[in-house]
Amino acid sequence: MVDDNRLFEKICLEGFQAGLSWLTILRKRAAFREAFAGFDFHAVCKFKTRDVERLLKNAAIVRHRGKIESTVSNSSRAIELVGEFGSLHEYFGQFKPKKRSTIKARSDIAAKTPESTAMSKDLKKRGWSFVGPTTCYAFMQAMGLVNDHVHGCQFRKSIKLVKQ
């Protein structure tokens, strides 16, 4: 995944998902896209207090003030990352594990990894919010930075990991 707006969308939706089911977020995905200008972080960073208040009244999305304000704030942080690394893809790619997963059983799948913890710490140091280690690991799974399908799973070989 190299589309920065899609990467921004995904990390924001992971934050919105915290404490909720993914089905809830998926059912509201189109509304989130509409509410947050297609997750164009250059547009979202221009949102003001009145936009946050408008979004808090939008029953089609998750109306959590902290998560909405986080998305607006994180949009400015995304612009900073692009300025420093050239793209969000380049930034996130640095957290890809050096070796492939050797998971043999579902019980071995972790909720976070050293890499997701490092990503979380770095993002928080840069002013991001709603990006804990578990949220970052879910993002890494969804974006193809890790493949934690167990050995023998029919889908393991079909997962295409992001190349760096």
* CA distance linking residue 78 with residue 72, whole number of Å: 10
Query: pLDDT 10s per residue in the chain (164 long)?
Result: 569 999 999 999 999 999 899 899 999 999 999 999 999 999 999 999 999 999 999 999 999 999 999 999 999 999 999 999 999 999 999 998 876 555 554 555 666 788 999 999 999 999 999 999 999 998 998 887 776 655 555 454 555 554 54
CATH superfamily of the domain spanning 4-158: Hypothetical protein; domain 2 (1.10.340.30)
What is the pLDDT, as a whole number, of residue 2? 67
From the number of C-beta atoms within 10 Å of its C-beta (0-12, 13-18, 19+), residue 75 rates as: buried
What is the pLDDT, as a whole number, of residue 97? 80
- Annotated domain spans of the chain: 4-158
CA distances from 1 to 75, 88, 105, 144, 156 (A): 18, 10, 27, 7, 18
What is the pLDDT, as a whole number, of residue 164? 44
What is the pLDDT, as a whole number, of residue 142? 83
